[in-house]
Amino acid sequence: MGMRSLKRRWTVDDLLDLPDDGNRYEVIDGELFVTPAPSFRHQEAIAEMHVRLREYLAREPVGHAYFAPADVIFSPTRAVRPDLLVIPLVNRRRPERFEDVGTLLLAIEVLSPSTARADRVAKRVMFRDQGVAEYWIIDLDARAVERSTPADPRVEVLVDRLEWLPVGAASSFVVDVPEYFRAVLEG
């Protein structure tokens, strides 16, 4: 006779019962991930990238950039709060809710020791499965950006230049990677 599994399968509905204690609670394929509040460096990295994305999207109106906490619910067992995300426009307007579009043009996470497994494994697989066009992990220690797409299971590590051309845009979003990290870490 086998032993019963004590591992709980979490759902999006279960998140409603968790405390509002400053932690980030996410469910990926039934597994609960809990992340503490971000550090100042982490927040600076998000803020700097958000400003750059907002400026780009003002010129290339294909989507709208949001930062955490913003709920992205793909299914009853897949709910995450990316650090930064770009959602496509709906009838040339910014969507009110994720449910209005159901997909992302871009998801970005800033890596920290407590999020490495979730960001590099669970979220990468989930975003690929969900058809998210691009997923970036900003690694502050390595001063690199890891890019993933649904079309290629390999991870591209960018240390010099990051270029993104979302569907519908006429020009690319370009980041000088060393300059970005100087602004975040030395500014």
Predicted confidence at residue 6, as pLDDT, reads 52
131 part of a folded domain: yes
pTM, 2 dp: 0.86
> Amino acid identity, residue 130?
Q
The number of domains in the chain is 1
76 part of a folded domain: yes
Q: What is the CATH number of the domain that holds 104?
A: 3.90.1570.10
CA-CA distance, 62 to 77, in Å (whole number)?
29
> Amino acid identity, residue 180?
Y
Expressed as residue numbers, the domain containing 135 is 38-185
124 part of a folded domain: yes
How many other C-beta atoms lie within 10 A of the C-beta of residue 3?
Answer: 5
167 part of a folded domain: yes
17 part of a folded domain: no
Q: What is the mean pLDDT of each run of 10 residues along the chain (187 residues)?
A: 61 82 83 84 95 97 90 88 93 84 92 86 92 96 96 93 96 98 93
C-alpha dist (Å) from residue 160 to 31, 54, 79, 83, 86: 35, 21, 32, 22, 22
